[in-house]
Amino acid sequence: MAALPQHTAARPQLAATLAHPAVQWFLLLLAGLGLPFLVYPVLAMEMLCFALFASAFNLLMGYAGLLSFGHAAFFGTGAYLFGYASKMLAFGPLASLACGTLAAAALGVVFGSIAIRRQGIYFAMVTLALAQIVYFALVQAPFTGGEDGMQGIPRGMVFGMFDLQGEQTVLGQTAPWCLYLLVLVLCLAGHALIARLLASPTGLALRAVQDHEARARSLGLQADRIKFWVFVTSAALAGLAGAMKALVLGLASLTDAAWNMSGEVVLMTLIGGVGTLLGPAVGAFFLRYLHHALAGLGGWVTVLIGAIFVICVLLFRRGMVGEWRAWRGAARV
């Protein structure tokens, strides 16, 4: 960390400016605003939701070393509770998003208090088992519509003036821009929260716990408590991602809560680069785009995605962003 400022100071001015966090966030925002011009807007919003989901998962896996195999439960709970609040209780979209997020956070408290003392495969198995309980509860609960899913969730209005349903034309591109902006801002805010958390003393303590838990404990860090709150934060952000996806597509279904979704988010994170801030988002973009672009090929989608995963594991073990960082690091030395 200490060597970094000197290093950047030696670089040309433009590169130094580009490296500034505020500039970086601004560039990300610009990239986000440009996205609907390049890919189909609804797909773009779905990508953003999954980017947040994968980043929430990565907060746990990449920085706490905990592989949760039950994150679909938070994603699905967020989606269903958003749908319930928006459709049955007629809440506005923001209040409904808050409902979905809080419900997932509450579920995170339950999961966390049961699972957090376990590590490695046991942690994965406990979270998977709990997620399956949630899945079957969602199959049977009267308000979820079982395997038909919850359909026709209204998008509504924000502050009574921004219509999330309607489409607007900006620079010749017609898209539900209000909705898109909301999703983009929430997605970036989620990422900013993760970045802030990791840069804080808690983030440093978290990394200490991940590197050497026994030593961190001997230094007086309350490892279980730190991990617990990171787990709850991760659950809440996953819930927000699920709720946003339900807002975008207007439906919540069992796909969101099924164990395959837990697997998919692991895949996104690994392909993008575990333990990097933007890696999971890149992985999520890549995989969602692939799913979308290959949908016309029929049965070959699963085969192709499997093959890509095998190639990534064999050739890019650090994931896309991880490899790129390693390559940049090697080039600079």
Partner 1 sequence: MKHLNFRIAPVALAVLIACAAATPAQAGPNGIRIGVLTDMSGTYAALAGNGSVVAAQMAIDDFGGKVLGKPITLVSADHQNKPDIGVAKAREWFDTQGVDMVNDLVTSSVAIAVQKLGAEKHRITIVNGAGSTALTNKECSAYGVQYAYDTYSIAKGTATALLKQGLDSWFFLQADYAFGAALQGDAARIVTSLGGKVLGTVKHPFPSSDFSSYLVQAQSSGAKVIGLANAGGDFTNAVKQAREFGIKQTIAGLLVFDSDIKALGLQTAQGMKFTTGYTWELNPETEAFGKRFFARFHAMPTMVHAGVYSSTMHYLEAVKAANTDNPEAVMKKMRDTPVNDFFAKGGRIREDGRFVHDMYLVEVKTPAESKSTWDQLKLLATIPGDQAYQPLAEGQCPLVRK
The piece of 41-49, 84-92, 116-124, 232-240 that touches partner 1 (CB under 8 A) is 41-49
| Contact criterion met (CB below 8 Å) for 127 and 69 | yes
SS3 content of the chain, % helix, strand, coil (to 5): 75, 5, 20
Structure tokens at 63: 């920085």
The piece of 40-48, 103-111, 118-126, 230-238 that touches partner 1 (CB under 8 A) is 40-48
Check residue 1 for interaction with partner 1 (CB under 8 A). yes
Check residue 259 for interaction with partner 1 (CB under 8 A). no
| Three-class secondary structure of residue 175 per DSSP | strand
Element (H, E) at 158: strand 157-158
Report CA Rg, the chain: 20
Cβ-count burial 285-314 (b if 16+ within 10 Å, e if not)? bbbbeebbeeeeeeeebeeebeeeeeebee
Q: Which is nearer to partner 1, 228 or 316 (CB)?
A: 316
The piece of 92-100, 112-120, 248-256, 306-314 that touches partner 1 (CB under 8 A) is 248-256
Dist CA 273 CA 314 (whole Å): 14
In the region spanning residues 130 to 189, those forming contacts with partner 1, defined by CB under 8 A, are: 139-140, 145-149, 151-152
Check residue 27 for interaction with partner 1 (CB under 8 A). yes
Check residue 3 for interaction with partner 1 (CB under 8 A). no
Please give the residue ranges that form the binding site for partner 1 (CB under 8 A).
1, 4, 8, 18-19, 21, 24-25, 27-28, 30-31, 34-35, 37-40, 42-43, 46, 139-140, 145-149, 151-152, 195, 198-199, 245, 249-251, 253-256, 276-278, 282, 285, 289, 291-293, 295-299, 301-302, 321, 324-325, 328-329
